[in-house]
Structures are given as structure tokens and as C-alpha cells.
């Protein structure tokens, strides 16, 4: 179950708008920079550049409007 760490964060805003349910899906990719470049070329909207995720692994997010309302996360190798 997904729960916000405190009031006012992005997870709390998500729950306030949509209620409980699927927040995002994460996919591991072999080469994150290549995947990001390919998606960018194809016009897929990303939520900013790749950056370290909560676990320190390189991470990039695809905008939920492209994922049918679900946030998609790409995670590269360590």
C-alpha cells in the first residue's frame, strides 16, 4: 500500500484527487540514457531529466497523460 510520509506532498495530492489506487508502474531498463533518448525522439513526454531515485538508482518518469493516467517510471541499472 502506498501512503504519504506527511501532509502536502505529491502523494497526498494524488490521493486527494483520485483516492486509493494505482499510482505508478516501474520498469527496469538495461540502458536508461538510450531509453530516454529513444522516448524523447518519439515525442513521449518525460517529467524532467533522469536523476537518482529514492534508492539511488538512475530514474526517469514518463508523464501520466502518456500512460493512460498512470505514472510510468524507468529505472536504470546501478
Digit-coded pLDDT (tens) for 23-76: 789 999 999 999 999 999 999 999 999 999 988 999 999 999 998 888 999 999
**Distance in angstroms (rounded) separating the CA atoms of residues 43 and 31:** 19
CATH number 3.10.180.10 is the correct assignment for the domain at 23-75: yes
Whole-prediction pTM value? Answer: 0.77
Three-state DSSP class for residue 3? coil
- The pLDDT score that the predictor gives to residue 63 is 94
| Domain extents in the chain | 23-75
Amino acid at each position: 500500500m502506498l501512503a504519504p510520509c506527511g501532509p502536502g506532498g505529491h502523494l497526498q495530492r494524488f490521493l486527494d484527487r483520485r483516492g486509493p489506487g494505482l499510482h505508478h508502474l516501474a520498469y527496469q531498463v538495461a540502458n536508461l540514457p538510450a531509453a530516454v533518448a529513444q522516448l524523447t525522439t518519439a515525442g513521449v513526454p518525460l517529467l524532467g531529466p533522469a536523476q537518482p531515485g529514492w534508492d539511488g538508482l538512475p530514474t526517469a518518469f514518463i508523464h501520466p497523460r502518456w500512460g493512460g493516467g498512470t505514472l510510468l517510471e524507468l529505472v536504470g541499472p546501478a
